[in-house]
Structure 1
């Protein structure tokens, strides 16, 4: 039986960072993964998704080349070749990631393709491949899995993972769920030529985003030809047809149905605790089925920690990385370190892109005296040059402190623009200080300088003008 100081289960972002941190602190560390190194992020999440999104972006760009005097034929997608590109990108990310080299350098024992891991007791782990291991501390980073429905015919539906693994482009796709994942599936396959129907049970798609972001993205989707339907009601059943799948649904007494060649569920993410045998270790889950942890990432069993999607706290890569670092630090050192006031930028690689950091306008106005400054993408130089004039940048600033409370962007390079604001917020730079930073011209981040200037003007403060 192998013995370690720390066993980390799951080699996604939180697990890899937890293993690196534990080894860095001197612990004999074993990292166990069900399948491949990199977890969902590298193999079924941001890496393959962003690769497909890049292909969609290139297709859209090719269709507008004539605006710059470039004549080419009609772009045609060879989906099998694109999937090969996705496979290559995933493999290169897995093999050449700096994290993988650090795992080797720090002497972490990596066990891949171990199958499901389960607790035998609170200090012993047994893998599906038959390996038994013991450790003083255990960190659970097994991630999450797509939420499924329990209505009749639900087995006829697919998940986002199935969508990425398609061998050819469906003629039509019904995407159920208008959050980040559903919006990305819809946007990517629309660019590939599928007829898209995006159904959202809530009153708006991207319900966690600022309302202006949700409205702008929904409008752009509809203008592009997608069917976007919010507040559609309750799903009653699915049934197979000769050309796909039909969803039967109802709202009150009114019953309807909709048909597509493929139906993709994107209705949420649940903790992947299958087979872990948590009761054997005394590890408790919360009411939603996620592993319950305190602020220091400890579970109900004091020497067992959890981080990342399995805790249900953020479900995003950057935050999973931070959780893994905290969990490993506390596991090895026996401390109760926590991360306070973490700035968490998020975004989706849709068309148009969107991204946010901090409070939405509704949240900010509940407890702050807020200045809201907005600049549209058709009012800045670089966006006009690149013919990417759809979108806006919004800054929310507290009047008294001049601190940025939130930023929301829809449009080209939105995700990159918001990263700058995350740094500004983390460093507590005031908006009147930000406006004095001489950003390069002409750039997409120029819209941020322009929006900061507008906020400063609304505050009645003097500011240096930066042309953008």
Structure 2
């Protein structure tokens, strides 16, 4: 029997990789190593979910003095201090990275602060030339934002760059219509930036429920974001001699517009380049994602992959679940396929979108449905004479009466959808929701008080 340096070698120190490494070491008593070329915590903790959500919080205070005035408070509106916020943000990210490092150390995982590549089915090579053998290798290297292929695209920033800006620009063009583009459009507008957003499609947030997409788009426009759909660009150029100066954008219709900064939110790509994967027999898909089976195993039996590098469901909690399922399968003798059904998620626009299950159009393709939906001004904003509306929507199978999808557009919709997600994952029917007594007065009570379908299909 071949002797290995480690039972498991993990490549990637993000949420999924760290969870798999420390659980394998701490609960399965495996000998584990992990290599990370950048900061521990990965995209989510260092340049994604966590700093983005803190920026969402920061941007949400912009309207507070105006709203408070309707409730009798006299609060003078001040200016946002990016430098101060960024200092607090970096301190928090440093703290969280320290937590990740400590979790690995306390679990007995050997950590290497280097890039790693796969040399063969059981061997990992670090940048310094050192090699280590392992019975199992787990690739959890995540993904990265990419710029579009157009002239002078390097003049635009991507989401990784936003947290390192020395100052905020006065004006910014955001190119893209996905959740990252829309979230940062709302964030930066709230922080005082004049935001224009171009999206080449007919409506932002493709893949989400159409009714929710429309409400969010309208809300963004009402807030003052210059959202332009069916609009794309063909080239960038410096507007002057200063390399840090304004950028001239040429649109595909020929019009030229200047912005202080351009932000590309036009897609992400799995981090599989120059890792030796295909050389050892690991298969990659069309977008360079690692192809795996339901147990996260690649075409090479000793090599597994989890998280965004597999491009299945690119969410941090999913990567963590995949890591846990991997440990159950490989180290605990309990084959556990990854369950990607009915995953709740949130888009942190203003207002937020919380969603779980099928959209109305998806559900209608599978059979007869009833749609229960209501849109209204909630008590807090109506009292402050603000136009913002919320949406509560349930999609129900006519045959089984099970709730196939739930979509909420509202402040803190991410908090609400977590609770709805539990019920829907358990197979709740519309009648189960109807039997639940409402919590009054709340926005969420509308989820259990909609008695008649808005429409059927």
Q: Structures share a fold, TM > 0.5? A: yes
Return the alpha-carbon distance in structure 1 between the equivalents of residues 385 and 13 of structure 2.
Answer: 41
Seen in structure 2, the aligned counterparts of structure 1 residues 189 and 382 have a Cα distance that, compared at 3 Å, is closer
Return the alpha-carbon distance in structure 2 between the equivalents of residues 129 and 351 of structure 1.
Answer: 46
How far did 1:84 drift?
1.1
Could you say which residue in structure 1 is the equivalent of 2:235? 237
How far did 1:298 drift?
1.0
Return the alpha-carbon distance in structure 2 between the equivalents of residues 451 and 383 of structure 1.
Answer: 19
Gaps of 5+ in 2: none
Cα deviation code 1:198-222 (max 9, x no counterpart): 1112221101111111111111111
Could you say which residue in structure 2 is the equivalent of 1:400? 399
Could you say which residue in structure 1 is the equivalent of 2:56? 53
Q: Normalization by structure 1: what TM-score? A: 0.89
Return the alpha-carbon distance in structure 2 between the equivalents of residues 16 and 142 of structure 1.
Answer: 11
Return the alpha-carbon distance in structure 2 between the equivalents of residues 328 and 60 of structure 1.
Answer: 46
How far did 1:57 drift?
0.7
Could you say which residue in structure 2 is the equivalent of 1:465? none
Seen in structure 2, the aligned counterparts of structure 1 residues 310 and 223 have a Cα distance that, compared at 3 Å, is same
SS at match of 2:108: coil
Does the 8 Å contact 1:21/1:329 carry over to 2? Answer: no
Does the 8 Å contact 2:342/2:421 carry over to 1? Answer: yes
**Aligned CA-pair RMSD:** 2.3
How far did 1:142 drift?
0.3
Aligned residues: 446
Return the alpha-carbon distance in structure 2 between the equivalents of residues 181 and 414 of structure 1.
Answer: 17
Could you say which residue in structure 1 is the equivalent of 2:79? 76
Seen in structure 2, the aligned counterparts of structure 1 residues 29 and 387 have a Cα distance that, compared at 3 Å, is farther
Which range moved further: 138-147 or 369-378?
A: 369-378
Return the alpha-carbon distance in structure 2 between the equivalents of residues 440 and 89 of structure 1.
Answer: 36
Return the alpha-carbon distance in structure 2 between the equivalents of residues 61 and 129 of structure 1.
Answer: 52
Could you say which residue in structure 2 is the equivalent of 1:462? none
Does the 8 Å contact 2:433/2:447 carry over to 1? Answer: no
Cα deviation code 1:281-306 (max 9, x no counterpart): 22121112111111211111111000
Return the alpha-carbon distance in structure 2 between the equivalents of residues 305 and 6 of structure 1.
Answer: 10
Cα deviation code 1:313-364 (max 9, x no counterpart): 1111121112222233333357653134622112121112112111000001
Could you say which residue in structure 1 is the equivalent of 2:21? 19
How far did 1:308 drift?
0.4
Does the 8 Å contact 2:373/2:453 carry over to 1? Answer: no
Report whether the alignment pairs 1:106 with 2:124: no
Return the alpha-carbon distance in structure 2 between the equivalents of residues 451 and 82 of structure 1.
Answer: 37
Return the alpha-carbon distance in structure 2 between the equivalents of residues 69 and 383 of structure 1.
Answer: 14
Seen in structure 2, the aligned counterparts of structure 1 residues 154 and 381 have a Cα distance that, compared at 3 Å, is closer
Seen in structure 2, the aligned counterparts of structure 1 residues 276 and 321 have a Cα distance that, compared at 3 Å, is same
Could you say which residue in structure 1 is the equivalent of 2:449? 453
Could you say which residue in structure 2 is the equivalent of 1:463? none
Report whether the alignment pairs 1:283 with 2:282: yes
Seen in structure 2, the aligned counterparts of structure 1 residues 134 and 383 have a Cα distance that, compared at 3 Å, is farther
Return the alpha-carbon distance in structure 1 between the equivalents of residues 410 and 17 of structure 2.
Answer: 33
Return the alpha-carbon distance in structure 2 between the equivalents of residues 95 and 443 of structure 1.
Answer: 39
Does the 8 Å contact 1:173/1:263 carry over to 2? Answer: yes
Could you say which residue in structure 1 is the equivalent of 2:157? 158
Gaps of 5+ in 1: 460-468
Cα deviation code 1:48-78 (max 9, x no counterpart): 0000110001222233221111112122111
Could you say which residue in structure 2 is the equivalent of 1:325? 324
Return the alpha-carbon distance in structure 2 between the equivalents of residues 106 and 387 of structure 1.
Answer: 54
Does the 8 Å contact 1:432/1:452 carry over to 2? Answer: no
> Which of 38, 43, 63 is residue 41 of structure 2 equivalent to?
38
How far did 1:387 drift?
7.7
What are the equivalent positions in structure 2 for 1:295-444 lying under 5 Å apart?
295-332=294-331, 336-340=335-339, 342-378=341-377, 390-438=389-437, 440-444=439-443
Could you say which residue in structure 2 is the equivalent of 1:4? 6
Seen in structure 2, the aligned counterparts of structure 1 residues 232 and 344 have a Cα distance that, compared at 3 Å, is same
Q: Normalization by structure 2: what TM-score? A: 0.91
